[in-house]
Structure 1
Amino acid sequence: MTANSDVNSTARLPYIGTLPGTAKARGGSLFQPRHDLWHLREGTHELKLNFYELPELEPEFKNAFKAALFWYAQNHSARHLGNLFYRSKTLFRFKRDATSEPVSEISDIDLLNYKSAIGEHRQWYLSGLSGFLQQWSRLGLTGISTSAVALLQQLRLKTNEKGAAIATMDPLNGPFSALELEALQTALNAAFARRNVDTEEYVLCWLLMMLGQRATQYAALKVCDIGVVHERDGSSTYSLRMPRAKTRDSNARGEFKDRVLTPEIGALVAKYAHAVRTRFVGLLDEPSDAPLFPGQKMDGAIVGFEYHQTSAQIRNKIIKVMRALEVISERTGDRIHIGPKRFRQTVGTRAAEEGHGELVIAELLDHSDTQSVGVYVRSTPAIVERIDRAVAMQLAPLAQAFAGKLIGVATEATRHDDPTSLIRAPAITGTIDAISSCGKHGFCGFLKPIACYTCNSFEPWLDGPHEKVLTYLIAERERLMAVGDARIASINDGAILAVAEVIQRCEDSRDERSAAYG
């Protein structure tokens, strides 16, 4: 055999890629490409690719698949790499199940069959794989037929439909209603007061509800990102330097955007951050570099992220805390479905309701452009136009806005011997007579008695003038609706439902007493 024939013979052999024993991913973590378990850590994102879980693949095809993924590991984010792995796994499983044979190649027929099987609404499954399969072929790797590449170049596939849950106000996957969000906030405050929720969980959940950022952004926060400016008049301004943690960037803290916090939440976050910093004195050379939401020290984490929780851990913590509140939705009559993305959607929806345009909403949600925020402006859900007594009574059992404790008489109050615990409402009742009690020790700056009905320290009396309060609130709502300020008119909707619930509880209590005493 001549030298030329040797070369030609070698060229005809399928190229499956050459993998090193150890390599560094784009995010900086070391992994072993030849192994069947890849473990990569990129900032706050942890990725494990288990090739043992794949459908049966021919050895050469499997090695080529690894080589294609290896290129992405060195040139793209770990999150994108994970998406490609799992989308490919679905395609491979489909072919294996269809042929009952090990997978050795992906052809145009395989792709057409897969496209038909997943249906029109899931074409984005294949759309997400198209670029990967074409790059696989461009790398000269075996496994993707020439006809498959030609087909992918011709196909016009639909991308993932975005915004459907927002546009339809989906009660399971879309934005929360105003009443749902207020109920979650009230329940979270009550759980924190009872110490069922710790400070870290409380701060994390409130920052999520206020800012609506992604879980990976909260995971990337450090103590030094909290800013406090003390003004000459004695007040303080609080801000948060939020890492952008963009998907295509391997450095979760490569860019930042400043967010202003309300004084109440800002003061709490600053106090919490100081406590975290104190915990890391002696552990880090600069304790201010400690993560705002720290976890256990992670082996293999890149420098600066050793004590950071992963985005998955942050997401799971949010879901666990908020689900434990067991808040009922007035729309479904069941416990509110919790997902961090819903809080993000709610921030965008409320901004649209307040009249903000696409540029402002994109800034709030930290989008690089306005492509994904148009749905908020186009699909602004309407405020409930009318809440009268009948509607309030119907919604009250579902909303569960009342968080206090009904008592029979003033002497049953927690602070019955303290005259400052008495609540009066002369503007509503026309007298200075007390109508209820407060069980809280210390100063309260909220408007009485409207804010009281949704407070867990509130102790309404059985014979209190709650009907007068309800009548007043509904009349005030109608007045504001008449002048066209729907957003302001709806502010006290939660309080209206809480008063209605108190009225119902009073009626039930009276019925029980009547039945007991004949």
Structure 2
Amino acid sequence: MHNADQKINAQPISRSRDGWEFSKADRTWRLNKNTKIELEWVDDLSEELRCSFLKTLHYYAVNNSSSHTRNMAYRAKMFFVFTKGRLDTDTLIAYRANLNVSTEHYLGSLRGFFVTWYMQGHPGINEEFIRTLQAWVLKGNEIGRAVLQMDSQNGPLTDIEMQGVLDGVITCYSTRRLGLETVALILTLLHTGRRSIQIVALKIKDVRATTVNGIAGYEINFPRAKQRHALWRSTFRSYAIDEDLWLILQLQVVETVKKLHSLVEFPLSDSLIQELPLFPDFSAVSCQTTEKDLFDLLQFDYVHATVSICNAALTGFSEKCSIFSERTGKPLDLRSRRFRYTLGTNLAHQGYGIAIVAEVLDHSTLQSSGCYIRSLSDIVERIDKAVAQQLAPLAQAFQGVLVTSEREAVRGDDPGSRITNGRVNVGTCGSYGFCGALAPIACYTCTHFQPWLDGPHEEVLTELLASSDRVWGVTQDVKVASANDRLILAVTEVVQRCTRVKKASSNG
């Protein structure tokens, strides 16, 4: 064993800022539930550089956020791979020359790490290296490209796409194709725009009912994220939610408590229940776990789910219910950050300034919020009939089945299943359950709706477009006037399908 490694091994077990134990001698550092750093590559460094690097990284792991520490380790690895394990002024200059405008921030991130290395007196970096590094003006990471370009693959979702996701989640839950936890995760992402790391850090006590001036309300007290020097769950910012989301989360609370009840052999006190994670991972809990053991685990993120469950929930939803984009005609690529981008974009579109956007998105500075204000010119205006004709085949908002007559429909023999526009019937509802949705408008995006081939769907479309025009005339607010855009596309698609079927029949 190298002498330097022997010195490292002699060090006591350390604890990351998030409370997880690790050793500098290990080649894998687990810093929290979501962060693991692989360090086998350091064995390719010289003894001096390896020892100094691990000491500096250890300082970061103990004093900085786990994600920031992991980023430093990764950037350092890429640096040393390029320089073949050398660390001097010549290799520094060569490394910078290898970077371009979009990657120069890699070195900007590393600058603080190398300065810390030098200031702490670890060998391997000389004064000339630091003077050269500090003299450079390095470009920062480009912020908000997906937002500024309204990227259809990675950027904000349109109102039509968001409504499609919401309708799809509700449909999948009502038909038991999605479980409660998956639905709770997706709806929390969709309604709050919070980061996945914030959602999995939630405890039951963070979902709260409130009363302000005698008015009942609901909120989630979110732990803040990307606070480099803050401890886990040490700072919070509340976010108001509606009753629908609150009720779903209350069901999730019941499931969490029920799950723990089945694992332990002691009664759960109210105080302990409040400390439980909203989205748990109880793999570390068994019938041998005592109440004290559980309280100890709850001090950190040991029994909280990992961030991977958020994207797993979105992937599972996408596999069961493809929501098509009216921009591309392809299924949406759903990732948690897109809901965050959407929230910021919608706030800017509603006229809120950069400070409000930063507050709602929980940004610590205004820098990251500016892209939402600058993206305003790229937002699509209202949909008219001509545009609807183009977008309807792409959006695929109509979810039902076109039938040639009432006789062919599911429940076609039940007069109570008929859907009317207030004047004549337009189709049949195939659901046997109660529905309080506004017919016939809401029906066109429902999987149970069976429009009749000869139904007056063009009349329904005309009324929807006229209603949008009336709202626009009164409010001059695109957001309000466009509330039924997805319905307009669904009705347009039905009209187009009817036209094609009738044309094929006449030609046949």
Same fold (TM over 0.5): yes
Name the SS for the 2:183 alignment partner.
Answer: helix
Distance 1:24 1:157, change over 3 A: same
**Contact 2:382–2:482, Cα closer than 8 Å, also in 1:** no
Q: Identify which of 250, 254, 261 aligns with 2:234.
A: 254
Deviation at residue 477 of structure 1 after TM alignment: 2.3
Amino acid aligned to 2:389: M
Residue in structure 1 matched with residue 480 of structure 2 by the alignment = 488
Give ranges in structure 2 of 5+ residues lacking alignment.
286-295
Q: How do 1:412-423 residues align onto structure 2 when only pairs under 5 Å count?
A: 412-423=408-419
| Counterparts of 1:321 and 1:382, CA distance in 2 | 29
Name the SS for the 1:361 alignment partner.
Answer: helix
Amino acid aligned to 1:87: R
Distance 1:385 1:78, change over 3 A: closer
Residue in structure 1 matched with residue 250 of structure 2 by the alignment = 270
Normalising to structure 1: TM-score of the pair? Answer: 0.86
Verify: 1:463 aligned to 2:463, yes or no.
Answer: no
Deviations 1:3-54 (A, max 9, x none): xxxxxxxxxx99998561422222221111112222222xxx4322222145
Deviation at residue 261 of structure 1 after TM alignment: 1.9
The alignment's C-alpha RMSD in Å is 2.8
Amino acid aligned to 1:261: I
Deviation at residue 118 of structure 1 after TM alignment: 1.6
Verify: 1:292 aligned to 2:295, yes or no.
Answer: no
Amino acid aligned to 1:411: R
Residue in structure 2 matched with residue 28 of structure 1 by the alignment = 19
Q: Identify which of 356, 378, 394 aligns with 1:398.
A: 394
**Contact 2:63–2:229, Cα closer than 8 Å, also in 1:** no
| Counterparts of 2:173 and 2:43, CA distance in 1 | 47
Q: How do 1:428-447 residues align onto structure 2 when only pairs under 5 Å count?
A: 431=423, 433-447=424-438
Distance 1:318 1:145, change over 3 A: farther
Deviations 1:174-227 (A, max 9, x none): 111222222222222222233221111011101101100010111011222222
Deviates more, 1:222-231 or 1:50-59: 222-231
Distance 1:14 1:382, change over 3 A: closer
Amino acid aligned to 2:436: G
Residue in structure 2 matched with residue 91 of structure 1 by the alignment = 79
Q: Identify which of 156, 160, 174 aligns with 1:193.
A: 174
**Contact 2:8–2:25, Cα closer than 8 Å, also in 1:** no
Residue in structure 2 matched with residue 510 of structure 1 by the alignment = 502
Verify: 1:221 aligned to 2:221, yes or no.
Answer: no
Deviations 1:335-363 (A, max 9, x none): 32222111101001111111222232222
Q: How do 1:133-172 residues align onto structure 2 when only pairs under 5 Å count?
A: 133-172=114-153
| Counterparts of 1:383 and 1:84, CA distance in 2 | 37
Residue in structure 2 matched with residue 474 of structure 1 by the alignment = 465
Distance 1:271 1:424, change over 3 A: same
| Counterparts of 1:325 and 1:366, CA distance in 2 | 31
Residue in structure 2 matched with residue 47 of structure 1 by the alignment = 35
Q: How do 1:315-354 residues align onto structure 2 when only pairs under 5 Å count?
A: 315-322=311-318, 325-354=321-350
Name the SS for the 1:297 alignment partner.
Answer: helix
Amino acid aligned to 2:275: D
Deviation at residue 170 of structure 1 after TM alignment: 1.6
| Counterparts of 1:308 and 1:249, CA distance in 2 | 21
Amino acid aligned to 1:208: L
| Counterparts of 1:436 and 1:356, CA distance in 2 | 42
| Counterparts of 1:88 and 1:467, CA distance in 2 | 63
**Contact 1:33–1:70, Cα closer than 8 Å, also in 2:** yes
| Counterparts of 1:386 and 1:303, CA distance in 2 | 50
Residue in structure 2 matched with residue 69 of structure 1 by the alignment = 57
| Counterparts of 1:236 and 1:275, CA distance in 2 | 25
Normalising to structure 2: TM-score of the pair? Answer: 0.88
Q: Identify which of 444, 451, 470 aligns with 1:453.
A: 444
Deviation at residue 273 of structure 1 after TM alignment: 1.7
Give ranges in structure 1 of 5+ residues lacking alignment.
1-12, 97-102
Amino acid aligned to 2:299: V
**Contact 1:396–1:497, Cα closer than 8 Å, also in 2:** yes
**Contact 1:16–1:61, Cα closer than 8 Å, also in 2:** no
| Counterparts of 1:362 and 1:394, CA distance in 2 | 36
Q: Identify which of 89, 105, 130 aligns with 2:111.
A: 130
**Contact 2:89–2:128, Cα closer than 8 Å, also in 1:** yes
Amino acid aligned to 2:200: A
| Counterparts of 2:331 and 2:224, CA distance in 1 | 32
Name the SS for the 1:404 alignment partner.
Answer: coil
| Counterparts of 1:270 and 1:381, CA distance in 2 | 40
**Contact 1:223–1:277, Cα closer than 8 Å, also in 2:** no
Deviation at residue 290 of structure 1 after TM alignment: 2.1
What is the number of equivalent residue pairs in this alignment? 488
Distance 1:16 1:120, change over 3 A: farther
Residue in structure 1 matched with residue 304 of structure 2 by the alignment = 308
Residue in structure 1 matched with residue 404 of structure 2 by the alignment = 408
**Contact 2:200–2:279, Cα closer than 8 Å, also in 1:** yes
| Counterparts of 1:124 and 1:322, CA distance in 2 | 34
Deviations 1:308-335 (A, max 9, x none): 1122443443344346533222222333
| Counterparts of 1:216 and 1:87, CA distance in 2 | 22
**Contact 2:203–2:274, Cα closer than 8 Å, also in 1:** yes
Name the SS for the 2:76 alignment partner.
Answer: helix
| Counterparts of 1:17 and 1:377, CA distance in 2 | 53
Distance 1:384 1:48, change over 3 A: closer
